[in-house]
Structure 1
Amino acid sequence: MRSAAALYVGGLLGPFGAGVVASMLPELGTTFGISQSTAATSLTAYLVPFALFMLVSGTLGERWGPMRTLRAAYAGYAVVAVLAVIAPWFWLFQASRGLQGVANAFTTPLLLTKLASVTPNERLGRTLGLYGAVQSIGQTSAPLIGGLAAEGSWRWAFAGLAAVATALTASPLPPDEHVPDRPPRLRDAWRPVVMWSGFVMFLAWACLAGLPFLVAFRVDDAFSLGPGERGLVLTAFGIAGFVAARLAGTVSDRYGPRLAITLGLLLGAVAVGAIGVVGTLPLVVVAWAAGGVCGQLILVGINALVLGNGGGGGAISVVTALRFLGMSVSPAAFTALYHHSAALGFLVPGALLAVTTSLLAHRIFRSGTGPRARLRHSRG
């Protein structure tokens, strides 16, 4: 039980470490003598190496031994978090952020595959839902705790991250069950079903979870909200995702990942499109919160499909990498469109979510995945 709890805590570390800088950008600028826009690149410095290394980290971690890799990644995370604490120059701070992203790339896919290996197949969705809820806590609480730390010194936030990573390095973890007959190969993960699943995740995160910046533009332009009020509106996505995580897992277990993904994409299309056309702030908040629920349905459903169909660390690693790459392209894809027309800025990504359902989802489900295929795999 304690070892399983350590897996969930490890899942919180990644999104927390990524988002902790969001509320301390002015303080980073003051410390290093840089503009806030330059300070904001500390988020990109984390996410880009994280997503790129994720393409191969799951396979490499399985080759080296999942638990050995997890402990090494936690230890490395602790060291580079300390580097952020003591960094006297911004370039060194940025280097530490990039290395934090690399370390996290070697934890996320292995945590998911380890949870899948210790969970009965009929409860996989609920387990992944709980994991998603923990990640939502990390994503939602990071700006708050980072901001509170920055009231004294932003460096305290990274000292706390180093302490948590050190504790995880020494925590009990489930042992590796067996040694594979042959070392996993990178190309083993690049199967058609994995690539189609990753493509769906890429588009879903580009058009849904990657839109907080666009929602901030919308509530500022339409309702003249200040930064604190905008931040409060944005938390609706993460809070709703946390509350709905268990429901998403239950839908996936009871009715199949296919239904969970389809509901997430279609309802997400409605929610995203509504943000651009409704005229009252409460409706915008409700629509954005509904997007958080849809994000959990998509995330749990895709992960359950890949892991339940025998996909290991390499497969889930590729899907997760495409998820965050989709999130990273969202500003470039939709900012200019929004400035041309606020309504189109949200209606276009909403339409893409709907089109994704009809054009891509059937390819995944015809590829031998889903509950029946999963049952065949478990019997085989």
Structure 2
Amino acid sequence: MLPELREAFDTGDNGVGASLTVYFVPFALALLVSGTLGERWGRRRTVQLAYLGYAAASLGCALAPTLPLFLAGRALQGLANAFTTPLLLAGLVDLAEPSRVGRAVGIYASFQATGQSLSPIVGGTATELDWRLAFVGITVVALLLAALPPPGEARPAASAPPWRTLLLPRVGLLGLAAAGSSLGCVGIAFLVALQARDAFGLGPSAAGLVLLCSGLTGLVLGSAWGRVTDVVGSRRAGMAAAVAGGGLVLLMGQAGSLTIFVVVWVGVGAMSSLLSVAVQSLATGLVPANRGGGVSATLAFRFGGLALAPLAWLPLAGSSGLDTAFTGAGLATFVVVVLLFPLGRSVAGPSPGWGGPTRRRPAPTRGP
């Protein structure tokens, strides 16, 4: 879509490239507080208003006559989206049985991977006709989703989740682990694309298919990884994924043939999927009284890591080679093990005051 935007607004690469920056900056910053605000205002109302805001911003992008107005719409899209993802995940976990939280998060992750894999294809198809149709389609989808908000009413002042829960050490540790995973195996698609082009001579379409392999792996394995985290625990699953994923990333720069490169990349995708499911499962149990706040703070670090990854590894790849950049990303993945180790097994259960059914243990049977 970037070439079409460049032509429509008569601007250069920097101008259209800003459409990504102005989306992710407010998105990541708002995630630091959006979950806690949503828990206070009520998940249902917050998500509904966020989808309506996202629809309005998307329609604004579709109708924008100038680049500044288009960028303003993109910024509002990012801000609105920050109030959907953490609250949807928190609501999903509250609906799941405690012993099946990992499976619920895994299914959620599979749908995320599906969207990430299909969105370039759907967007590209719409762009063949008119790039503005892609944003019209997003508007329609957001309006439909606004009719299906998660449960959860506003909490009275006495039961509102406190802000200080976001300052707990375990929140910081998991946030750093999420950032480390994004600097590592989760966020190296741009290095893979460069390696596919420079080392194996693939064109844009072929390189895109290589990248798609990782997304499809997450789609297929998300639910299975959820079951794994339920059985062995989110912390152990995440540590194992970080060890295996870091090792595979180290091999990416050493692959001598395209076949080996793709196979290793599929393995990286599988471990990235498991690590993402484990981290999100841990986030949902991080602060049970402020589940949405714990999830949104963790996601803020995750997307911060994704934003930093190109800044960290592209200069290294340019000065020392792609194999050195892959080595750095692999080592960053290993650091996640150290950060997850102190967290212990995640705790997941219904959040106080969330507005859904309360699970009670059966009363003990009295003898005669």
- TM norm structure 2: 0.90
The CA distance in 2 between the partners of 1:196 and 1:173, in whole Å, is 28
Equivalent of 2:304 in 299, 315, 325:
325
SS, match of residue 195 in structure 1: helix
The CA distance in 2 between the partners of 1:304 and 1:181, in whole Å, is 27
Residue identity opposite 1:68 in structure 2: R
- Which residue pairs with 1:200 in the alignment? 177
Q: Does 1:347 align with 2:319?
A: no
1:259-278 equivalence runs, <5 A: 259-278=236-255
The CA distance in 1 between the partners of 2:253 and 2:360, in whole Å, is 48
Equivalent of 1:230 in 198, 202, 207:
207
1:113-124 equivalence runs, <5 A: 113-124=90-101
Change (3 A) 1:274 1:40: same
Q: Does 1:299 align with 2:276?
A: yes
Q: Does 1:145 align with 2:102?
A: no
The CA distance in 1 between the partners of 2:24 and 2:343, in whole Å, is 27
The CA distance in 1 between the partners of 2:2 and 2:234, in whole Å, is 39
The CA distance in 1 between the partners of 2:239 and 2:68, in whole Å, is 43
Equivalences, count: 350
Task: Please say which of residues 193-202 and 300-309 is displaced more in the overlay.
Answer: 300-309
Over the residues paired in the alignment, what is the CA RMSD in angstroms?
A: 2.0
Residue identity opposite 1:326 in structure 2: G
- Which residue pairs with 2:336 in the alignment? 356
Structure 1 residue 177: Cα displacement: 9.3
The CA distance in 1 between the partners of 2:38 and 2:109, in whole Å, is 21
Structure 1: unaligned runs, 5 residues or longer = 1-23
The CA distance in 2 between the partners of 1:341 and 1:243, in whole Å, is 33
Residue identity opposite 2:293 in structure 1: G
- Which residue pairs with 1:218 in the alignment? 195
2:117–2:215 Cα contact (<8 Å) kept? yes
1:116–1:307 Cα contact (<8 Å) kept? yes
Q: Does 1:30 align with 2:7?
A: yes
Structure 1 residue 275: Cα displacement: 1.1
- Which residue pairs with 2:217 in the alignment? 240
Equivalent of 2:317 in 333, 338, 359:
338
The CA distance in 2 between the partners of 1:37 and 1:272, in whole Å, is 30
Structure 1 residue 46: Cα displacement: 1.1
Q: Does 1:85 align with 2:65?
A: no
The CA distance in 1 between the partners of 2:85 and 2:207, in whole Å, is 29
Q: Does 1:104 align with 2:81?
A: yes
The CA distance in 2 between the partners of 1:211 and 1:69, in whole Å, is 33
2:285–2:348 Cα contact (<8 Å) kept? yes
After superposition, the C-alpha distances for 1:207-245 in whole angstroms (9 at most, x for unaligned) are 122211111111111011111111111111211111110
- Which residue pairs with 1:290 in the alignment? 267
Structure 1 residue 173: Cα displacement: 4.0
The CA distance in 1 between the partners of 2:296 and 2:150, in whole Å, is 20
Structure 1 residue 285: Cα displacement: 1.6
Change (3 A) 1:344 1:184: same
1:263–1:297 Cα contact (<8 Å) kept? no
Structure 1 residue 379: Cα displacement: 9.2
1:190–1:315 Cα contact (<8 Å) kept? no
Residue identity opposite 1:323 in structure 2: R
Residue identity opposite 1:350 in structure 2: G
The CA distance in 2 between the partners of 1:180 and 1:281, in whole Å, is 59
Residue identity opposite 1:198 in structure 2: G
2:214–2:265 Cα contact (<8 Å) kept? yes
1:216–1:230 Cα contact (<8 Å) kept? yes
The CA distance in 1 between the partners of 2:49 and 2:136, in whole Å, is 19
- Which residue pairs with 1:69 in the alignment? 46
The CA distance in 2 between the partners of 1:193 and 1:379, in whole Å, is 28
The CA distance in 1 between the partners of 2:298 and 2:23, in whole Å, is 18
1:269–1:350 Cα contact (<8 Å) kept? yes
1:208–1:291 Cα contact (<8 Å) kept? yes
Q: Does 1:156 align with 2:147?
A: no
SS, match of residue 164 in structure 1: helix
Structure 1 residue 180: Cα displacement: 7.0
SS, match of residue 11 in structure 2: coil
2:39–2:155 Cα contact (<8 Å) kept? no
Quick one: percent identity of the two aligned structures?
A: 38
The CA distance in 2 between the partners of 1:271 and 1:305, in whole Å, is 24
Change (3 A) 1:98 1:178: closer
Structure 1 residue 144: Cα displacement: 1.0
After superposition, the C-alpha distances for 1:120-146 in whole angstroms (9 at most, x for unaligned) are 010100100000011111111111111
SS, match of residue 277 in structure 1: coil
1:189–1:314 Cα contact (<8 Å) kept? yes
Change (3 A) 1:177 1:86: closer
Task: Please say which of residues 28-37 and 222-231 is displaced more in the overlay.
Answer: 28-37
- TM norm structure 1: 0.88
The CA distance in 2 between the partners of 1:379 and 1:195, in whole Å, is 32
Change (3 A) 1:270 1:379: farther
Structure 2: unaligned runs, 5 residues or longer = 352-358, 362-368
Structure 1 residue 274: Cα displacement: 1.3
Structure 1 residue 187: Cα displacement: 2.3
